[in-house]
Chain A
Amino acid sequence: MADDNVKAIVEALIFASPEPVSLKTLTKLLDDEPPEHLEEALASLVTDWEEGRGLQLVEVAEGYQIVTRPELSEWVRRLFHERSAQRLSVQALETLAVIAYRQPVTAPEITEIRGVNTSGVLSTLLERHLVKVTGRKSVIGRPFLYATTREFLDRFGLRDLKDLPKVEDMAEALGMDVPEALTDPPPMDEALPFETDTSPEPPPEQVH
């Protein structure tokens, strides 16, 4: 296939998809095409959409999506009578931040960091599919472990968890030095997964 053709197909697929299209999906759909061709096509498309257009190609939630430029939002908004975006409370945002950086994390650990009980906020976040239960921690009481979802990445315009705001940016927002790393890699081995949607392995631990 000619490169221009690949590019056109990739563009059509991303445009037509209701949600971000991952490189994996593209590879599957264009099975004759080596992945590096697709990556080239994607990079070239991102550049094409870069200047002087109403749309842009963004990388979000582990996929690619064509969206309107944020600075034109007010104009787009006129199309709709009212925007009914459910805003997150400050409590919800902060709890989400703790989960995002410390995942997988238990409710008592979140409470310890925030200094307030978070169970109400947690159920809101679960209802909105921004966090999910990924297992239980092997400590007394076997509390649930929480982690963020793909919807979380989508809502906050993050490519993946590595795309979370960095500590350096935080120092600026805080107006003070941030001594410790917030983004320590979470200790994954503590998780006892019982969900099977990501791995075909049977759950290693019995759920009571």
Chain B
Amino acid sequence: MEQEFESILPDYPVKVADYEGPLDLLIHLIKRHEVDIYDIPIALVTAQYLEYLDLMGELDLDVAGEFLVMAATLIQIKSRMLVPRNDSDPASPEDDEDPRDTLVRRLLEHQKFKAAAELLHERETIRSAQWTRPDARVEDLVDEPFERELEVDLFSLLKAFQSVLARSQPGPRVMLPTETVPIETRIQQLVARLSETEACGFEELFADASSRGDLITTFLALLEMIRMKIVRVLQSEMCGPIRVYRRERPADAPDLMGEPRG
């Protein structure tokens, strides 16, 4: 695509791809005209900016949105610059400020982070030139303790839960508006308990659940915690006792149901 643009516009001094966002474009304009960033000739910069915007509108519609907001900002600043400032009016203290100040602050901050990114990149380059000793054998050793126990599958869990339900005392057969604990809260309670002990038996999870509803909530909470990779559920042999272990959450662990990621 870039090549195409260049062939259409062979003499145009810039490639759109050079500019990531409106702030980058503004910095480019300021540098190209060698103007003082603290005293931006706003009329000139606005005119040039709009020129680029026209071109970009033709080339790449996707970026136009963010660029339009900046165009509006520039035009607003320009118009505010034209209005004589009334320093003596205490009712509008914001008039004391140069209308360009906010923009200048943003530009400078943007520049700082660009520089920071550059410096980070230098560190990254050095670091990537430092080779470490890869040893596949070590990885096998590190994982070993986990593999000794079987990860419990869903059906074994359901079976275990069945026996918990069967053992629970049948409650009174009256429908009372019970206080229901949401799964999220239950998860937090279980996490809090596991943080004290690192691990506990499957049935201990249900120790404080009185009603059938609570038992089910607890079980659903456990399933969710497995999915979120907060816990591991293991047994040392087939049909052996099931234990729940707290685990270090891997970085790619999914979040709670309904949580958008990012």
- Which residues of A pack against B, CB within 8 Å? 15-18, 56, 58, 60, 65-71, 73, 76, 85, 88, 90-91, 93-94, 96-98, 100-101, 107, 112-117, 119, 122-123, 126-127, 129, 132-133, 144, 149, 151, 154-158, 164-165, 167, 169-171, 173-174, 176, 178-180, 182, 195-197, 200-203, 206-208
Contacts and interface: CB of A to CB of B under 8 A. Distances in A.
Contacts of B111: 174, 176
A202 B21 CA distance: 41
Interface in B71-110: 106, 108-110
Contact of B249 (A58, A158, A197, A201): A197
B124 A180 contact: no
A97 B116 contact: yes
Contacts of B121: 88, 93
Overall SS of chain A's interface: mixed
7 contacts: A18-B142, A67-B130, A76-B131, A113-B110, A164-B120, A182-B109, A206-B188
A66 B133 CA distance: 8
A-B interface, 7 closest residue pairs, ranked by CB to CB distance from nearest? A157-B127, A73-B129, A116-B21, A202-B192, A70-B129, A67-B130, A165-B119
Contact of A98 (B113, B119, B259): B113
Interface of B: 20-24, 37, 66, 70, 106, 108-121, 123-124, 126-135, 138-139, 142, 182, 184-185, 188-189, 191-192, 195-196, 230, 248-249, 251-252, 255-256, 258-259, 261-262
A96 B114 CA distance: 10
B115 A173 contact: yes
From A58, A114, A115, A165, residue with most partner B Cβ within 10 Å: A115
A151 B251 contact: yes
A197 B251 CA distance: 10
Contacts of A167: 112
B194 to A, nearest CB: 9
Contacts of A173: 115, 118-119
Contacts, number: 174
Contact of A132 (B191, B192, B251): B251
A203 B188 contact: yes
Among the interface residues A117, A154, A165, A167, which one has the most CB atoms of the partner chain B within 10 A? Answer: A165
B195 A201 contact: yes
Contacts of A126: 251, 261-262
A158 B21 CA distance: 29
Nearest to B107: A115
Contacts of B24: 115
Given A18-B135, A206-B188, A69 B130 contact: yes
Contact of B124 (A66, A91, A156): A156
Contact of A115 (B66, B119, B120): B66
B23 A114 contact: yes
B113 A114 contact: yes
B115 A129 contact: no
B188 A144 contact: no
Contacts of A65: 132
Contacts of A90: 20, 117
Contacts of A73: 128-131
